[in-house]
Amino acid sequence: MQEFTVRPQPDDPRLTRTVAGIDQEGRPIETQIVMERPLTLFLNGREIVTMMTIGDHPDYLAVGYLLNQNMLRPGDRVTGIDYDEELETVVVRTDRETDFEDKLRKKTLTSGCAQGTVFGDLMEKFEEVRLDPGAILRTSWLYTLTRKINTVPSLYLAAGAIHGCVLCEEDRPLLYMEDVGRHNAIDKIAGYMHLNGISPAGKIFYTTGRLTSEMVIKTVQMGIAILISRSGFTAWGVDLARQANLTLIGRARGKRFMALAGAERIVFDGDMRAMEEEHPRVARKASLAEEEAA
């Protein structure tokens, strides 16, 4: 795959809109804000969940969500994906009834799309995964990746209020997806990988969001051995990463990073003296327009 085979499209008029307001001194301003839309997902004839999303790549998001929630198994063949923008629905069709639908009929369900059942299935699969012990992360790759990812045009840079996830290989970013929730962004990448037959071998996963239990579980389920974030950790995220032997790196900004699990995969070949600290503009949560007006 080439670098940034899929990349953010911050100029897509469907993804942001301009809103007028005032600043801290009462001066009129205009700023770009990210759109947020509901998307209701169906698996064959069953309604599964309504997600809030920016609206791009609904097919990858739908398949990735079902995979990461363990509602689709690798052996389930997707025969069709129907997206209706007007109705705000996406239907994933398989060639046979899935295990998830069968389980639903055997249980008394509460509200929330059987999340207790789903969580139990998630942890069952999580404990079965064996990540590649031979995977490595060179610090030279890490420094190059963070520079490329943090400078490519994106909704994160244009408007803020967004999360990004990037599938990488060595020092090359391959797929860069964004959404209002980090779980949506990672699901889009999982869906793309599944539908295009992309192997997790040798891959690295990068996210702008926190390293929570959910991010760790989904990365492990995808079979990726290295997870990097520019943000921090949660305690359960670290515990699960250590249990699964996932290399977990957080606070990766400029020449700095912190590894709390799987540090044995890191090869220190980067020249720290040649590295620059991260530019303040890529360290913020607001949009560039808001910064420039400040």
pLDDT in tens, 83-132: 999 999 999 999 987 766 655 554 433 333 334 444 556 676 778 888 99
Confidence check: pLDDT of 136 > 90: yes
Number of H helices, E strands in the chain: 9, 14
β-pairing, 172-179 with 163-169?
Answer: antiparallel
pTM to 2 decimal places: 0.85
129, with CB counted inside 10 A (0-12, 13-18, 19+), is: middle
**Mean of all residue pLDDT scores within the chain:** 85
Mean pLDDT (whole number) for 55-73? 92
Crossing angle of the two packed helices 213-221 and 58-68, in degrees rounded to 10: 90
Angstrom distance (rounded) from CA 224 to CA 204: 6
| Percentage with pLDDT > 70 across the chain | 83
Per residue in 207-239, pLDDT (tens digit) is: 999 999 989 999 999 999 999 999 999 999 999
**Amino acid 161: pLDDT:** 81
> Do residues 177 and 6 lie in contact, with contact meaning Cβ atoms separated by under 8 Å?
yes
